[in-house]
Amino acid sequence: MNKNALLIIFLGFIIGLGIIFIGNLRWGNDVNNKKEENTNNIEIKDGVQYITINVKGGYFPKISNAKSGIPTKLIMKTNGYYDCSLSLVIKSIGYRKVLPTKGEEIIDIGTPLPGAPFLGVCSMGMYSFSVNFN
């Protein structure tokens, strides 16, 4: 075998590894995107729907899917982190408050109708979360 043949085999090997690596990255991202949409942060107790949002350098899950037509409350759960996601604005219900650094803030959002997603943002507009009511 001459040097050129060895070089071609070597390059083929490197390109193959690259394709496998990129494939894995894409697959990983798909899995992460699926995790962003959530319904298991929603609980109905005594006729009230509770939606739990974790506050920690943003709002998680970023997208929740909940039911319309039920009295609904948000539970904003803070985890001892101090960042601007503590400063919460929910325009549609005229809510603006700095959340406590650690604990749960319960926000009554009434009985949502199906339609446009319900949106919460930090006061600077960097972080947001939305809830779809179906």
Binding site for Cu ion (CB under 5 A): 84, 122, 124, 126
Give the shortest CB-29-to-Cu ion separation in angstroms.
24
Give the shortest CB-114-to-Cu ion separation in angstroms.
29
Which is nearer to Cu ion, 42 or 84 (by Cβ)?
84
Which is nearer to Cu ion, 70 or 124 (by Cβ)?
124
Which is nearer to Cu ion, 6 or 126 (by Cβ)?
126
Give the shortest CB-125-to-Cu ion separation in angstroms.
7
- The strand ranges marked E within the chain are 37-38, 42-45, 48-55, 59-60, 63-66, 72-79, 87-90, 95-98, 102-108, 118-122, 128-133
User: Do residues 84 and 101 touch, judged by C-beta distance below 8 A?
Assistant: no
Residue 115, both tokens: 């339609």
